[in-house]
Amino acid sequence: MTDNTEDSESWTVLKILRWTTGYFEKQGIDSPRVDAEVLLADLLEMERIELYANFNRPMVDDELAAYRKRIKRRAAGEPCAYIVGYREFWSITLQVDQRVLIPRPDTETLVREALDIIEEHAPQAVVDVGTGSGAVAIALGSEHPDLQIAATDADEEALDVARQNVETHGLDETISLAHGDLLDAVDDDQKPVDLIVSNPPYVAETERDDLQPDVRDFEPTDALFAGEDGLDVIRRLVPAAFDTLAPGGWLLFEIGYRQGDAARDILTDAGFQHVEVIPDYGDRDRVAKGRRPL
Ligand SMILES: C[S@@+](CC[C@H](N)C(=O)[O-])C[C@H]1O[C@@H](n2cnc3c(N)ncnc32)[C@H](O)[C@@H]1O
């Protein structure tokens, strides 16, 4: 879509979607049509499905100019979620930008497991370690606003995003945010806790070059990488969680699909019982869990 090859009257929703899809394909973008639709639907303040009822709608000059900017950003590798400024996760919409990891569908496995524990064991005090956008804490809080959830992060800027999301979802009474390393940010008067959940950084440094450029070049490094084998943070988190949990309390954390065996060993060595690794929707190891003995 150049500025002068076509006048704006000749661009319709369908025509621009087709053009953008072809362009994104050439740029090697994985889901070219979906991305073209997400960026356009947001710009036109429509749901994606509404684009289909508006294929013949003409695009005006301002819309074309704004869409062109979005196409350029996406073609340069920036993820759609950062361009539109939000991502759906669980049943909620979260504001996101480059200060936080974009919440992933995989992490819904962690939420599902945590909800099972909440429903079975009725924990009162919950901690979400490495909250980022607040995704996990807000998903749990939206289902159980009566919980007391402390959400921590080592990155102040990420906590600013989480704070805004907590406010937007009206969960200020449910979720408190605290800055610090792992569980250091949890006040003594909040301990011991009954449930700790975490989606920590777990990508191995050795995998850096294999990551999609959208992830590697745009998402926060400290949210992704954890040492040579990706387990540096988990190795510190597990014993710290053991010391912070009440007897009978549970720890649940997300892992990479090749880290199941290592996670089991780390949990067992730290003294956890009922150690289990749970698969995600794609049947790959995704969440490790253990219980501090009663
Ligand atoms: C993989 S992201 C997860 C973000 C969010 N919970 C989610 O699931 O979308 C990991 C988060 O942990 C934070 N983090 C990394 N190291 C940490 C540490 N030592 N203590 C606390 N938070 C940490 C990062 O800043 C980042 O926000």
pLDDT digits (tens, 9 = 90+) for 129-159: 999 999 999 999 999 999 999 999 999 999 9
Q: Where are the domains of the chain?
A: 8-76, 99-291
Which of 247, 249, 251, 243 minimizes the C-alpha distance to 294? 247
Fold of 99-291: Rossmann fold (3.40.50)
**226 neighbors 232 (Cβ within 8 angstroms):** yes
Q: Is the dihedral of CA 161, 135, 43, 73 positive or negative?
A: positive
Name the class of domain 8-76: mainly alpha
Ligand 1, residue 233: give the atom nearest the CA.
19
pLDDT value at residue 9:
54
What does the pLDDT average to over 238-265?
Answer: 98
Helix and strand element counts for the chain (H, E)? 12, 9
CB within 8 Å of 292: residues ≥ 6 apart: 242, 245, 246, 247, 248, 249, 250, 251, 271, 272, 273
Return the percentage of the chain with pLDDT > 90, whole number.
92
pLDDT digits (tens, 9 = 90+) for 282-294: 999 999 999 999 9
Q: Does an H or E element contain 253, and which?
A: strand 245-254
pLDDT digits (tens, 9 = 90+) for 191-241: 999 999 999 999 999 999 999 888 999 999 999 999 999 999 999 999 999
Confidence at 2, pLDDT banded by 50, 70, 90: low
Q: Does an H or E element contain 157, and which?
A: helix 156-168
Confidence at 118, pLDDT banded by 50, 70, 90: very high
Ligand 1: list residues with CB < 6 Å.
Answer: 101, 103, 107, 129-133, 135-136, 152-155, 158, 181-182, 199-201, 222-223, 233
